[in-house]
Amino acid sequence: MKAERIKEAVLIIVSFVIGGVLTFVIVGGDDIVKTNNTSTNSGLTCSAADCTKVVVDESGISEAVQKVYDGVLMIRNYQNDEVASTGTGFVYKIEGDTAYVMTNQHVVDGADKVTLITSKDEEIDGEVLGGDSYVDIAVIKIKKYDGIVALQLGNSENAKLGDLVFTVGSPLGYEYRGSVSTGHLAGKDRMVSVSTDGNSSGSDWVMKVLQTDAAINPGNSGGPLMNTNGEVIGVISMKFVQTEVEGMGFAIPIEYVNSKIETLEKGESIEWPLLGVSMINVSDARNSFRYNFDIPSNLDYGVVVAGIESGSGAADSDLKEGDIITKLNGEKVQDSAYLRYELYKYSAGDTIEITYLRGNSEHTTKVKLSSSKN
């Protein structure tokens, strides 16, 4: 009898313990799940060696914005003592009493004077050190001021499709300066044809860019595209402007910018290789009454050699006026913009192979590239 009472007491104790555990899971477990769902988590892995990791939580990316906000400036392009255009720039380096601001070349193009407006609404003078229309990057020198910060340059190659990104800029000018917009990395290695001289009727260059669905508007040009740690992975350059298109903005990958920025800082021109030919797109030559080139009826790509520069590498090759260039080092040449894109992967002094058509016959020839500075 005594043994049965002991056994009964043990069962009661065990049942109490099990019941308590179940009650904790049922009643408190919901709180545990909720806590996990709202707990903070670090954003993207830092790609810069000195990156300070920030936290992304239910309040958004406010910590990352605060980290970079004082390093983003509005830019005014003055021509004939009037504001001709505005854009955005960001501090990427501070040395002593001098700070260096990166922006687009088209933001400062044609400027007689450039001023920058800080996050504290102070307007300061800037000096354009150098710029290039093909890279679409310019460097402005300013005096260091109180509260200034330099943004960290990251790595777009480590970014993944769908990553959260944001930008700070001055869409539509002064009234909306310092606007923050967020989105995602929507595409990488996009090939977009652009005009380097502001001529909207045609393109003469192809840019390999990052695509984002963050809101990009006139005035955002030159601003930083950043990951959630506030690292710059690209420089905002353009957007598609069509009534049926929404949320397609583009940024120049920071790696490409880095390869050219030191030259622009020094005020030097970027040395682009020179092929030595004047070109006409096959489509333009076929549809124009000005030209009478022999173009195969089934050919819908390539560029026609309209002229050859004396003393150039092309002049020493087998190319002749009227030939149609279809490939450069084996890469298809869609038009003159794509030819420049492929050509500018090389340097003056390099030798490349050109594939061309003469009549209906395909040929190849070697061309030694000269310098655009010559």
Residues whose CB falls within 8 Å of the CB of residue 27, separated by 6 or more in sequence, listed in order? none
Give me the catalytic one of 70, 85, 106, 317. 106
Residues whose CB falls within 8 Å of the CB of residue 302, separated by 6 or more in sequence, listed in order? 281, 282, 324, 325, 326, 333, 334, 335, 357
Question: Can you say whether the dihedral through the CA atoms of 162, 232, 139, 208 is positive or negative?
Answer: negative
Give me the catalytic one of 136, 204, 323, 335. 136
Structure tokens at 240: 């598609």
Cα(43)–Cα(60) distance, rounded to whole angstroms? 11
Please indicate whether residue 136 is annotated as part of the active site. yes
The 3-state DSSP class for residue 150 equals coil
Please indicate whether residue 106 is annotated as part of the active site. yes
Please indicate whether residue 221 is annotated as part of the active site. yes
Host H or E run for residue 357:
strand 351-358
Please count the CA atoms within 13 angstroms of the CA of 311 that sit on its side-chain side.
3
CA-nearest of 169, 188, 190 to 178 is 169
Say if CB 178 and CB 119 are below 8 A apart. Answer: yes
Give me the catalytic one of 221, 312, 317, 336. 221
Catalytic residues: 106, 136, 221
